[in-house]
Copies of this chain bind each other. A is one copy, B any other.
């Protein structure tokens, strides 16, 4: 493998000094880019794109050709695991992901097993290919959904609004939900390990729906399982430390607990004050975030002002510890020029904080 030319992202995650704040964007390989839409059309469907290592590699690299971003993230989806478990993932136009065979009976839950990673070979092949094509330009992030977030989709059958099915199960039969979460956690751990072996240089767990849980139940049904994954996951590969990021959307109230889950960095959404987050976590972890993705619709003046707000809220950084990102995935409607302004603004304004 080629030596890494730009290691700012990894250094910031490990709270080592950096001359400026590194930047990447959640969902940076996506629909706001016309070249993505072309490749997606060529593939025929979202899953066909994700399952084709050459095309997945192509869309992973597309944003890096346009913008001076400091990390690549594998183009894939968190629902590859339940798909490999046999739940039958489909992307319905305008309605998002749906499962043909959601977990809606005790028998279905009892049948659930950690999938054979051979079914996910396309993911690991894509990781290897991206690493080769990147040729050390920037690090590659691998990722997975949190066990609870996967369970939401697996039990609801689709993205939910009130999470009534999974919460009914949680309150009525916590034993069954724990069984699903246990299997998910084991699957995610093996899956992330395989991504690391294939070349992922950092890993991220997306806990997109942990924030819908009540205080106390978040800790029991989401955080616990992320902690278990990180405790069991080898975090060195070929002599390199593999940093781990955990992002619980809407988890700003639980940063103290999250800081103890074994992650090197926590993703935070835009409702969180980074100054407060640093105080809460005692600088024990790096922080990643947290521009409101909608700020990219505000024009140049607003983008620069909001970038300044995020940087100054985090404040001066003696030893790294801040990775600039959006607080959620970039909207498909974002004008690409706004991203150029964002990259320029972070590059211009951040050195003063280091």
Contacts and interface: CB of A to CB of B under 8 A. Distances in A.
A297 B292 CA distance: 34
Nearest to A293: B162
A333 interface: yes
A331 B215 contact: no
Contact of A294 (B167, B276, B295, B313): B167
A215 B273 contact: yes
Contacts of A333: 164
B270 A214 contact: yes
A293 B162 CA distance: 9
Contact of A292 (B167, B272, B293): B167
Binding site of A, secondary structure by majority: helix, strand, loop or mixed? Answer: helix
Contact of A172 (B167, B217, B272, B298): B298
Contacts of A331: 162, 164
Interface string A240-261: 0000000000101100000000
A163 B294 contact: yes
A167 to B, nearest CB: 4
B216 A168 contact: no
Given A162-B331, A252-B253, A297 B168 contact: yes
B313 A215 contact: yes
A223 B252 CA distance: 19
B253 A298 contact: no
A98 to B, nearest CB: 17
A262 interface: no
Interface of A: 162-164, 167-168, 170-172, 211, 213-218, 250, 252-253, 270-273, 276, 290, 292-295, 297-299, 302, 306, 309, 313, 327, 331, 333
16 contacts: A162-B331, A167-B294, A167-B297, A168-B294, A170-B298, A171-B306, A172-B302, A213-B271, A214-B271, A217-B292, A250-B250, A252-B253, A253-B253, A253-B271, A253-B273, A253-B276
